[in-house]
Chains A and B, each alone.
Chain A
Amino acid sequence: MDDLLKFTYAVDGDNFTSAGQASVNVKKNLRQLGFDAETIRRVSIAMYEGEINMVIHAGGGNAEVFVKDDCIEIVLTDNGPGIANVEQAMQEGFSTAPDNIRSLGFGAGMGLPNMKRYTDSMTIESEVGKGTKITMKVLL
């Protein structure tokens, strides 16, 4: 399937304050392209949680958004520590985030479950010590 459009962002891992800027930008772009509010909300929330995760756990990474004929695909790639136990990480409430992140409003163990909740498919490829690649699709 051809990509009709692609947006690419570098997510700065050192700056929690700016985390989420790429998602705000994607939201704006999708709105300009005329997608419905529900689709835009699902894509931007899933990507926002992913962006926050990359900043908290992986020292940043790359975010790519592909607009396709039948879906919007979000691919998040990082060179962080990897996820040792994906099944455990998918449980609501399980978190390895440090306390200082909780005081900022995140790290409640809801990131990955929320990403799954708002997308039609999500795959996690992760290798400890190498990094993580998450691919999410929201069908149109």
Chain B
Amino acid sequence: MKISEIKDLLGASVLCGDDHLSKDILSACGSDMMSDVLAYVKNQAVLLTGLVNPQVIRTAVMMDMICIVFVRSKQPSEEMVEFANEHGLAILTTPMRMYEACGKLYSAGLKGNGEVNG
């Protein structure tokens, strides 16, 4: 699923990474606990979260994720967006709640593929 499809399915706005919208997303993770996110290896993943702080972006960078969707219209700070942009991440924000946003993407064919490493 391309980032542009995620944007359309979630009625999301793009805060940075317009030029990454054609990239393919292979797996997804929805969580507000960054340590749970860090417990799973994802390739070309999107992170859906309602948590807004710089550690969200760092977690995504550590995991080589390529897109973050903030749910419930959460707005990251300019510094966070800039940091994400430097690391090639696309940042989206959607008015949907976590459950609904995850459900939309799952129904459209984007599975979790949460493979526990070790």
Contacts of A139 in B (CB 8 A): none
A-B contact pairs, 27 of them (CB 8 A): A16-B55, A19-B55, A20-B55, A20-B58, A20-B62, A23-B58, A23-B62, A24-B58, A24-B61, A37-B64, A41-B62, A41-B63, A44-B62, A45-B63, A48-B38, A48-B58, A104-B53, A105-B51, A105-B55, A105-B59, A106-B33, A107-B35, A108-B33, A110-B36, A117-B39, A117-B118, A118-B118
Q: Mark each residue of chain B from 51 to 95: 1 if its CB lies under 8 Å from any CB of chain A, else 0.
A: 101111011011110000000000000000000000000000000
Q: What 4 new A-B contacts, CB under 8 Å, besides A48-B58, A114-B35, A117-B117?
A: A20-B54, A20-B58, A105-B56, A117-B118
Check if A137 is an interface residue, CB within 8 A of chain B: no
Give A52 to B58 CA distance when docked, in angstroms: 11
Nearest to B37 among chain A residues (CB) is: A105
Query: In the complex, how many angstroms separate the beta carbon of A67 from the nearest chain B beta carbon?
Result: 18
Check if A78 is an interface residue, CB within 8 A of chain B: no
Query: In the complex, how many angstroms separate the beta carbon of B4 from the nearest chain A beta carbon?
Result: 24
Dominant SS at the A interface?
Answer: helix
Check if B34 is an interface residue, CB within 8 A of chain A: yes
Known contacts A41-B41, A41-B63, A48-B38; is-contact A106 B55 (Cβ 8 Å): yes
Number of A interface residues at 8 Å Cβ cutoff, please give it: 28
Give A118 to B56 CA distance when docked, in angstroms: 19
Q: Mark each residue of chain A from 35 to 52: 1 if its CB lies under 8 Å from any CB of chain B, else 0.
A: 001000100110011001
